[in-house]
Each structure stands twice: as structure tokens, then as C-alpha cells.
């Protein structure tokens, strides 16, 4: 019994040491620093972060670290970013941001506010033809435009309507996206908070854009060799984020997704010290925020045949403190879900696992549709989630509660699968 107790204590000590929270925090802090400018594309931040991760995987003890190169077309906003509403200066990233597929814009414009309670497209078009609304920016609540997309898509096209562009209102904090930045619409589209634009008659704006063709990016692929090479486990996380909004503003992305990226580096260190039965791959994807471009490229050009993957874990936005862990599983991964639940209940990792429907919302999806057993882990709706895709998702708002339970859940699963 004494020998058994000693063995159990040693195993517990090994597990706790493997969950290297200080190492994890250092990586999150580094990746969300100004050095990488939001890990976007215009100023090379994503590629700088990728080179940093290459070195981190090497220091973690990976047997191989390779870079998988690919290119994307992407719209960016690295230049001037200024806006005034009836003479009041607005703050980029706080009061306004740009829609990712918007061209640049410069000038002063009247504002036409849509009456959503008495919505009448014909009357709106007649109003826009009046001299006082010539070359105006049409302002409307975003979800209303979404529900009436046929009409508002016409307002985005040159020659369809006489407006100069659109203002989409969104409740604070203002958001920013990259997913559909691989093309441009004809007219500028600006996100703005209701408080910043309510009752405003005229706006002045100067927003520069730069469209990058065939912009080079790369995935970082680290391998820890196991005893067997016929099958493998795969851990994934995306390291890119939203980059810049003008010259002074960047989106640090501490939760999205420095948190998941840091986790797979510490998992690589764990398995380098505790050699696994099967090969382990740790893939840090770029281009996720540009519509899963890195992971899609990988499944088309895999480093190991997809059918050899025993299970894939996609870790995205675990920098939060919700005691309920959100997850999605592929159809091929669903038979393993009861094991995840049993481990979670036994080890008290989270209060429960909330399984959602499979969606194209992160890098597990290209694998899932190729019949790879996989799970997506994202800790949402905690204190950090309110800052999703805003300038406030930074080191100052970083939360670390979910790291150790996620680490424990996935390592225990591998030990028992």
C-alpha cells in the first residue's frame, strides 16, 4: 500500500508539473504584445508570431518543427483611420471599425438614418435621390440590414443606388472581422456604435485600406515521436488574429487565440518529457481569422495521412472562466464523447460539457468534414468572452481558469482512449 501511495503521488506530481501555468502565461503575454501587432497580415505580425512559435516548439523538445507555406488574398487597414461625427472625433476600435471587405474612404458625407419601424425601400431610394442626401452614408442597425440583405446589398454596389456607403450600428464594444476579407465590395462599410452616430447629420472620415494579393503565411507543425508511427494524435490552435485598425490600434487577441496556442506548446513540452505511445503532432495554424485558410490548406496537403489521426483536439479561446466547457465533435468523433464526459465527471475538470452542433467556426471543421475524429474546445460566455474581436481582448483582461482543466481533460482522454 505504501508503494502504491508513493506511485500515485509521483504520478500526481508529474501531472501537476506538466500543467506549466507560468510557461503558459508567458506565451500568452508574448503573443498578445505590441511586438506582433495583433498577429495580423499588413505589418507581418502573423509571420513574426509564427517564427516565435517555431522556436518555442523547438525549446519544448519537439523532434521536428516544419513550416507549411501558403498564400491568401486579404484586405487590411494599416494606414490612416480617423472619423468625426458632427465635428466630434471618434476613436477607432472603440467608437467605430471597418467591415473587412470595405474599400478605403475619404471625405465628408451627410448621414441618412433608416427608419426601421416604417421601413419602405422605395421611399428610401427616393430620399437618397434628394440633393440633401446626395453622396450620403446610409446608417442602420446591423441585424436589421442582415434581415433585409437583398435591399442593403444593393446599397453596397456601384451604380445601384446613389449613396456613398453604409454605417452599420453595433452595440459597444465595437467589433472587427477578417473572415470575408478576401474580396472588396464597391462602397465603404463602417461599423459604429449607436451612441457615436445617434442624431448625427454629417461625418468626416479618412480610412486607408491595403489589399494584399498572394500574401505569404505559414502553419507551424511540430512533431513529438511516440513508440508507434502508424497512428497519431493531433493538437491544433490558430495563432493569427485580426491585426491592425489604422496605425495605432491593434487587436491583441489574448483569448482569441493566444490562449489556445500557448496550450498546445505546453502540451508539446509535456509529451516531449513523457514519451507517448503514438506520434503527436501540434499544428499552429495561420489564416484562421481569414476564413480557416490555414487549416483548409493543411487538410489538402497533410503532413500525415488524415486517416491515421486517432483523434484531433482543436483548442480555441480557452482564456476564460466559465465552469461549463463548450465543445463540438465531428460525426467520427461522437462515439468518444461518453469517455470525455466520464473523465470530466470523475476528475471534476468542468461542471459539465456543453456540446453544440458542428459548425465552420474554427480549424476543426475542415478535418471534421473529412471524417477525422475530432473535438473543438472553446470556453465561451465567461468574463473574457465579452471582449471577443475587440481591442479589449488583451493581456490586461486575460483569464487563465480554463487552461489546467482543459489540459487535464485531453491528456486523460489520450491515456484512456
Domains defined for the chain, CATH in brackets: 18-76+213-416 (3.40.630.10), 81-207 (3.50.30)
What average pLDDT does range 322-326 have in this prediction?
Answer: 97
Task: Assign 332 a pLDDT band (cuts: 50, 70, 90).
Answer: very high
- Give residue for cell 494579393: 213
Cα separation of 34 and 16, whole Å?
31
Inter-axis angle of helices 403-416 and 21-31, nearest 10: 120
CA nearest 243: which of 390, 12, 43? 43
Calculate the alpha carbon distances from 258 to 282, 324, 404 in Å: 15, 20, 15
Using an 8 Å Cβ cutoff, are 261 and 243 in contact? no
CA nearest 226: which of 362, 63, 376? 63
What average pLDDT does range 8-15 have in this prediction?
Answer: 42
Q: Distance of alpha carbon 160 from its chain centroid, rounded?
A: 34
Residue 150 CB coordination number (10 Å) = 8
Q: What is the predicted pLDDT for the residue at 13? A: 40
Q: What is the predicted pLDDT for the residue at 99? A: 97
pLDDT above 90: residue 89: yes
Residue 380 CB coordination number (10 Å) = 18
Using an 8 Å Cβ cutoff, are 214 and 357 in contact? no
**What pLDDT, in 10s, does the model give residues 384-406?**
999 999 999 999 999 999 999 99
CA nearest 135: which of 162, 161, 113? 162
Cα separation of 294 and 217, whole Å?
8
- Give residue for cell 473587412: 100
Using an 8 Å Cβ cutoff, are 84 and 190 in contact? no
Residue 396 CB coordination number (10 Å) = 9
Q: What is the predicted pLDDT for the residue at 18? A: 57
Q: What is the DSSP letter of 65?
A: E
DSSP alpha helices (H): ranges in 19-96? Answer: 21-31, 45-60
**What pLDDT, in 10s, does the model give residues 97-113?**
999 999 999 999 999 99
Q: What is the predicted pLDDT for the residue at 390? A: 97
Cα separation of 374 and 364, whole Å?
7
**What pLDDT, in 10s, does the model give residues 174-233?**
999 999 999 999 999 999 999 999 999 999 999 999 999 999 999 999 999 999 999 999
Q: Which three cell numbers stand for residue 206?
A: 479618412
Residue 172 CB coordination number (10 Å) = 12
Task: Give burial (CB, 10 Å; 0-12/13-18/19+) of 201.
Answer: exposed
Using an 8 Å Cβ cutoff, are 238 and 288 in contact? yes
Task: Assign 137 a pLDDT band (cuts: 50, 70, 90).
Answer: very high
Cα separation of 68 and 303, whole Å?
9
pLDDT above 50: residue 12: no
Using an 8 Å Cβ cutoff, are 261 and 339 in contact? no
Using an 8 Å Cβ cutoff, are 245 and 251 in contact? yes
Amino acid at each position: 500500500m505504501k508503494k502504491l501511495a508513493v506511485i500515485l503521488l509521483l504520478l500526481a506530481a508529474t501531472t501537476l508539473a506538466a500543467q506549466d501555468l507560468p510557461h503558459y502565461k508567458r506565451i500568452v503575454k508574448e503573443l498578445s504584445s505590441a511586438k506582433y501587432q495583433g498577429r495580423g497580415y499588413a505589418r507581418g505580425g502573423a509571420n513574426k508570431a509564427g517564427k516565435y512559435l517555431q522556436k518555442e516548439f523547438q525549446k519544448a523538445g519537439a523532434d521536428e518543427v516544419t513550416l507549411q507555406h501558403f498564400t491568401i488574398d486579404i484586405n487590411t487597414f494599416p494606414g490612416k483611420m480617423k472619423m468625426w461625427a458632427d465635428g466630434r472625433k471618434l476613436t477607432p476600435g472603440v467608437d467605430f471599425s471597418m467591415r473587412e471587405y470595405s474599400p478605403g474612404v475619404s471625405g465628408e458625407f451627410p448621414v441618412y438614418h433608416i427608419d426601421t419601424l416604417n421601413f419602405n425601400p422605395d421611399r428610401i431610394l427616393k430620399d437618397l435621390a434628394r440633393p440633401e442626401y446626395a453622396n450620403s452614408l446610409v446608417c442602420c442597425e446591423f441585424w436589421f440590414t442582415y434581415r433585409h440583405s437583398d435591399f442593403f446589398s444593393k446599397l453596397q454596389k456601384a451604380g445601384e443606388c446613389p449613396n456613398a456607403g453604409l454605417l452599420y450600428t453595433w452595440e459597444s464594444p465595437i467589433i472587427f472581422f477578417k473572415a470575408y476579407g478576401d474580396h472588396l465590395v464597391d462602397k465603404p462599410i463602417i461599423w459604429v456604435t449607436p451612441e457615436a452616430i445617434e442624431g448625427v447629420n454629417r461625418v468626416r472620415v479618412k480610412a486607408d485600406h491595403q489589399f494584399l494579393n498572394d500574401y505569404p503565411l505559414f502553419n507551424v507543425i511540430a512533431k513529438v515521436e511516440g513508440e508507434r508511427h502508424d497512428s497519431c494524435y493531433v493538437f491544433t490552435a490558430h495563432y493569427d488574429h485580426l491585426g491592425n485598425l489604422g496605425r495605432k490600434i491593434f487587436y491583441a487577441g489574448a483569448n482569441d487565440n493566444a490562449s489556445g496556442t500557448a496550450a498546445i506548446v505546453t502540451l508539446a513540452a509535456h509529451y516531449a518529457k513523457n514519451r507517448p505511445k503514438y506520434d503527436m503532432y501540434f499544428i499552429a495554424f495561420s489564416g484562421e481569422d481569414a476564413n480557416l485558410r490555414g487549416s483548409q490548406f493543411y487538410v489538402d496537403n497533410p503532413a500525415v495521412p488524415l486517416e491515421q489521426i486517432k483523434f484531433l483536439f482543436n483548442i480555441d479561446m480557452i482564456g476564460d472562466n466559465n465552469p461549463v466547457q463548450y465543445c463540438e465533435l465531428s460525426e467520427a468523433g461522437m462515439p468518444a464523447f461518453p469517455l470525455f464526459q466520464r473523465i470530466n465527471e470523475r476528475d471534476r475538470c468542468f461542471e459539465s460539457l456543453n456540446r453544440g452542433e458542428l459548425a465552420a467556426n474554427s480549424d476543426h471543421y475542415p478535418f471534421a468534414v473529412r471524417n477525422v475524429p475530432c473535438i473543438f474546445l472553446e470556453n465561451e460566455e465567461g468574463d473574457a468572452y465579452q471582449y471577443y474581436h475587440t481591442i479589449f481582448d488583451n493581456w490586461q483582461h486575460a483569464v487563465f481558469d480554463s487552461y489546467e482543466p482543459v489540459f487535464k481533460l485531453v491528456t486523460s482522454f489520450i491515456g484512456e482512449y
